Structure 1
Amino acid sequence: MPRFAANLTMMYNEHAFLDRFAAAARDGFEAVEFLFPYDFSAADIKARLDEHGLTQALFNAPPGDWANGERGIASLPGREDEFRRSVDRALEYARVLGNDRLHVMAGLIKPEQSRAAHREVYLNNLAYAAKAARADGITVVIEPINTRDILGFFLNRQDDAQAICAEVGAPNLKVQFDLYHCQIVEGDLAVKLKRDMAGIGHIQIAGVPERHEPDIGEVNYPYLFALIDELGYAGWIGCEYRPRAGTSEGLGWAKPWLKARA
């Protein structure tokens, strides 16, 4: 049975951030994820998790200057020291929040920049992150993202992400498979899930193309949820979508699973 984690960055925006934990728990979620925790203390977030019986599934390492358009620094030449500090800070939070998945964003590349140079930096930084996270039992995940939503993002394809993980060779480095991004870039979702499941560390969903609830659009999610179960995936599935209207009002698609788990 799929296990869903509410993404509190995109969902429950009707509430202040720290109040979203209670709202997700009321709707039957047992886990949450979000992009970044760093505007709040780890202790305050942990208190909300504990109060509402929630598991922290995943969050992202610091991405550089997000407000000015940066989308990760893991592949950026010259930012290696900053990247290492970002991993160390993320692990400090993870030790408190208890998540065993940490997403590291690759970053942007301009057409005139060397992809080979970015890739070499990316590989070295991922090796550092995986080694640093291993002592805490944390798996580092990397995510291919479509270039419609993030123009110039360095990592776009599932096969490239799997090859990078294989080249680094760390057992706790895996791919974050976001079905929304993959459908936009590649499609053929079921085949890729079957091909890559051993290397998948986290899954996320959203409707395609509008990134609303997964009950509308071009992807047959009930079929894919059954396939994910059949393939033996036991992790959380992050609901990283923008609700069309109110978050709770749009959860009709999830009620069979949330109710069953409750």
Structure 2
Amino acid sequence: MPLFAANLSLMYTEHPFVARFAAAARDGFRAVEYLFPYEHEAALLARELREHGLRQVLFNAPPGDFAAGERGLACLPGREAEFRAGLLHQALPYAQDLDCPRIHVMAGLAPQGVARARLRETYLENLAWAADQARAAGRELLIEPINTRDMPGYFLNRQEEAHAIVAELKRPNLKVQMDLYHCQIVEGDLASKLSQYIPGGRVAHIQIAGVPERHEPDRGELNHAYLLALLDELGYAGHVGCEYRPGQADTSAGLAWFEPYRATQR
């Protein structure tokens, strides 16, 4: 049965951030993910994980000025030093303190007037360097295609391109974060995509949400029960991140979809 991670950036927002760990644990989750940990001391977050029997399975590297609209630095020429400092001095130390095995590196928004080939060159150089640093620290580095409806201008949008980059760079700890919400919006044909990419071992993390509203996975056009069963058939052993915005004020009230899986979490 799939192992789920509650996304504490989108779920349980009726609680202050630090209180969301306890709320997720009460509902039966045994793992969490979120966008960024950096507003909180790592020791505080580590304590919440310990006290509530949770594993931290994913967070993002610093994305630049997120409040101002930046969505990653990895593809941006001229921001290499900032990208590398964020990974070395923030992301990797937090991953160590939180015992988090993987870090997602956001590609960034493609700036107007810069050739895509130049952006790709910068992206690959930064990823190769970052993957080497992460490997030395015992971590995996992930890249994620994101749809341009929710994030216009985002550099990386399609599964094929993400997997081609991973194959080209040949870093064993550089892998793909496959968000089925984004994939459905951009490409569709999810069962075929899962059957194509999961057996290759390059997908290290899955995320889900209902399409199109990004609410609970039992709302919208996708048959998540079928897709989750397919993950089992394909031998996927990683976590499935619940990166959705609850469709009602009380996150716990919308967890009927989770009930068949609750007892199998570990």
TM-score bin (small chain):
over 0.9
**Residue aligned with 1:152, SS:** coil
**Residue aligned with 1:261, SS:** coil
Is residue 2:90 matched to residue 1:86? no
Distance 1:226 1:7 in 2: 21
Give the unaligned 5+ runs of structure 1. Answer: none
2:86 partner letter = S
Q: Residues 146-161 of structure 1 correspond to what in structure 2 (within 5 A)?
A: 146-161=147-162
The residue number in structure 2 matching 1:255 is: 259
Distance 1:75 1:37 in 2: 22
Distance 1:58 1:261 in 2: 17
**Residue aligned with 1:254, SS:** helix
Q: Please report the TM-score for the alignment, with normalisation by the length of structure 2.
A: 0.97
Q: CA deviation at 1:21?
A: 0.2
Alignment: residue pair count: 262
Is residue 2:51 matched to residue 1:48? no
| Per-residue CA distance 1:27-67 (angstroms, 9 max, x = gap) | 00000000000000000000000000000010000000001
Stretch of structure 1 that moved more, 11-20 or 132-141: 132-141
Is residue 2:62 matched to residue 1:62? yes
Distance 1:112 1:201 in 2: 34
Give the unaligned 5+ runs of structure 2. Answer: none
The residue number in structure 2 matching 1:173 is: 174
Identity across matched positions, percent: 63
Q: Please report the TM-score for the alignment, with normalisation by the length of structure 1.
A: 0.98
Q: Residues 200-215 of structure 1 correspond to what in structure 2 (within 5 A)?
A: 200-215=203-218
2:185 partner letter = I
Query: Is the CA contact (8 Å cut-off) linking 2:4 and 2:265 kept in structure 1?
Result: no
**Residue aligned with 2:151, SS:** coil
Q: CA deviation at 1:201?
A: 1.1
Distance 2:112 2:158 in 1: 17
Superposition CA RMSD, Å: 0.9
The residue number in structure 1 matching 2:17 is: 17
Q: CA deviation at 1:211?
A: 0.1
Q: CA deviation at 1:258?
A: 1.1
Q: Residues 57-136 of structure 1 correspond to what in structure 2 (within 5 A)?
A: 57-88=57-88, 89-136=90-137
Distance 2:137 2:226 in 1: 35
Is residue 2:235 matched to residue 1:232? yes
Q: CA deviation at 1:112?
A: 3.0
The residue number in structure 2 matching 1:30 is: 30
1:32 partner letter = V
Distance 1:213 1:72 in 2: 26
Distance 1:47 1:191 in 2: 41
Distance 1:141 1:174 in 2: 5
